[in-house]
Amino acid sequence: MITLICLATTHFTALAFNIDLTIEGQGQVEATSKTCTSSCDIATAESSQTLVTKASPGWYFTGWQGQKCDMGNGVIIPTENQDVREIGSAAGGAKSLETIDINNDGIDDLIGISLFNGKVNSYENLGDGTFISKTIISDLAYPSSLDSYDWNNDGYKDLFVTQFNSDGRGIKMYLNDGNGGFVYEKTFTFENTRPYSFSVIDYDLDSRPDFVISSFDANTNGDLFTLVESIENEKISWFKNTDQGFKEQQIIAEKAAITLDTYQAHENAIPQILTAEIQLGEIAVYSNENGKDRKLVSSKWASYGAAFGDIDENGHVDILTAHYKPSILSLFYGLGEGEYSKSVNVARPEEGVTATAFGDFNNDSYIDVATGEFNNKKFYYYATAGFDQCIVIKSSSLALTAIFKKDESASSDSEKKSGGSLTWLLFVLVPLLFRQGLGKGALSKKNN
Ligand SMILES: [Ca+2]
Ligand SMILES: [Ca+2]
Ligand SMILES: [Ca+2]
Ligand SMILES: [Ca+2]
């Protein structure tokens, strides 16, 4: 008798796991278990549900309202001119960004490189998506890359900056004082290595942080084209943290990465390495032990920035890329099994983009994307408005509204539609544009 009551209770509770879906405007929502053409309930007791929207002819899907989905497949990012949100300026050229919660208040701040005046700036997030900038390091000779890692384990991320044009040719470490300040501690040097970009990570999972470094020689007295054309002695290798200092353990590839990032899916996962290899315009991911598997994510032109981050929170790490010229900021969605989607264009600014960073910059719980335009000397971000496909996990309950709007520009929709074919055209033109275009004023010291 008691058993029966328990079963009945369990069954009753299970029925309550559902999505309370409202549809506004004209369109339908296809869930895993059913399709709704008007407002409906979708049960989540048996399995998770992926909601895919389909607008009626002459209508389009603008996004979800109500409670946040548990995760998504893809995101919606408005990127018109008025959607550009300022982070701050970089008088020496906006080169690289690193997301770091400087003061441990739970809100993402940023640190950026201002290249030709040798400065590193912090951009402290006030919590409402606006920033206060401050120069925290001056007088570096060509600070080419930066990363963060809590080196001394005090709960605050410390800052690492490589100085490309110096006799020391090393990576400088600045310890976070907990108040948004960074105090110089020491410089790490590496034999036969001139670090341009790098990442601090425990690469071999022995609980001691190591360095993954892209090293090369190059002429920095001209523009980006001069630099790229002059690259030699390039290698990407990892240096193991040993009692006798850092030892080059393995050369992962004989390539030059202008930007390098790493990602660990979980504490015990082998880190993956992401590279923007500018010479061939390639974006690549090195995975498995000692980076032996190289996955070519894309091959376009002037690949400058690349960052890992799971923007739609579905457990598959995604990639943000910045191609310098032609200038395009793009996303590649992780599909699992080391595969990525085709390039999804986020924005095509007029000036070349360089930096790439993920973070929730407007503090609304959705992960946003930040970039920088080198010659415009500014960093900015685009705020993610929500997920594209909405995933509600098993036994999760929430109320959602799918908003469809009438496409007023339906007759003059050529602009939207031409996006795809323009991209295709650029694929064809790229090798030419890269050679011809970069020589002229691009990343030039003269613009300083
Ligand atoms: Ca620390
Ligand atoms: Ca280690
Ligand atoms: Ca993802
Ligand atoms: Ca956000």
φ, ψ for residue 156, nearest 5 deg: -110, 135
Helices and strands per DSSP (H, E), number in the chain:
3, 35
pLDDT digits (tens, 9 = 90+) for 247-305: 999 999 999 999 999 999 998 999 999 999 999 999 999 999 888 999 999 998 999 99
Average pLDDT over residues 329-338: 96
The set of residues, in sequence order, having a beta carbon less than 8 Å from that of 189 and lying 6+ positions away, is: 168, 169, 170
Span from the CA of 147 to the centroid of ligand 2 (angstroms): 17
| pLDDT confidence tier of residue 38, bands split at 50, 70 and 90 | very high
* Rounded CA separation 260/171 (Å): 14
Is the pTM for the entire model greater than 0.75? yes
Q: Look at residue 308 and tell me whether its pLDDT is greater than 90.
A: yes
Span from the CA of 207 to the centroid of ligand 2 (angstroms): 5
Q: Look at residue 2 and tell me whether its pLDDT is greater than 50.
A: no
Average pLDDT over residues 168-195: 92
Which ligand has an atom closest to residue 243 CA?
Answer: 2
Q: Which pLDDT does position 434 carry in this prediction?
A: 43
Which ligand has an atom closest to residue 211 CA?
Answer: 2
Span from the CA of 160 to the centroid of ligand 1 (angstroms): 11
Question: Do residues 293 and 303 touch, judged by C-beta distance below 8 A?
Answer: no
DSSP state of 78: -
Q: Tell me the two tokens of residue 119.
A: 């400065």
Q: Which pLDDT does position 441 carry in this prediction?
A: 40
Specify burial of residue 143 (Cβ count, 10 A radius: 0-12, 13-18, 19+).
buried
Span from the CA of 364 to the centroid of ligand 4 (angstroms): 5
Q: Which pLDDT does position 420 carry in this prediction?
A: 36
pLDDT digits (tens, 9 = 90+) for 383-437: 999 999 999 999 999 999 999 999 988 665 444 443 333 333 333 344 444 444 4
Span from the CA of 157 to the centroid of ligand 1 (angstroms): 5
Average pLDDT, the chain: 90
Which ligand has an atom closest to residue 241 CA?
Answer: 2
Parallel, antiparallel, or unpaired: how do β-strands 378-382 and 85-89 relate?
A: antiparallel
| pLDDT confidence tier of residue 168, bands split at 50, 70 and 90 | low
Which ligand has an atom closest to residue 71 CA?
Answer: 3
* Separation in Å, CA 201 to CA 108, 138, 149, 194, 273: 20, 26, 8, 19, 10
Q: Which pLDDT does position 86 carry in this prediction?
A: 98
Question: Do residues 249 and 238 touch, judged by C-beta distance below 8 A?
Answer: yes
Q: Which pLDDT does position 430 carry in this prediction?
A: 40
3-state SS, residue 138:
coil
Q: Which pLDDT does position 15 carry in this prediction?
A: 54
pLDDT digits (tens, 9 = 90+) for 70-122: 999 999 999 999 999 999 999 999 999 999 999 999 999 999 999 999 999 99
Which ligand has an atom closest to residue 339 CA?
Answer: 3
What is the full DSSP assignment across 155-167?
SS-EEEEEESSSS
Neighbours of 336 (CB within 10 A): 10
The set of residues, in sequence order, having a beta carbon less than 8 Å from that of 202 and lying 6+ positions away, is: 208, 209, 210, 271
pLDDT digits (tens, 9 = 90+) for 190-204: 999 999 999 999 999
Q: Which pLDDT does position 180 carry in this prediction?
A: 80
Which ligand has an atom closest to residue 204 CA?
Answer: 2
| Of 167 and 191, the one with more pLDDT | 191
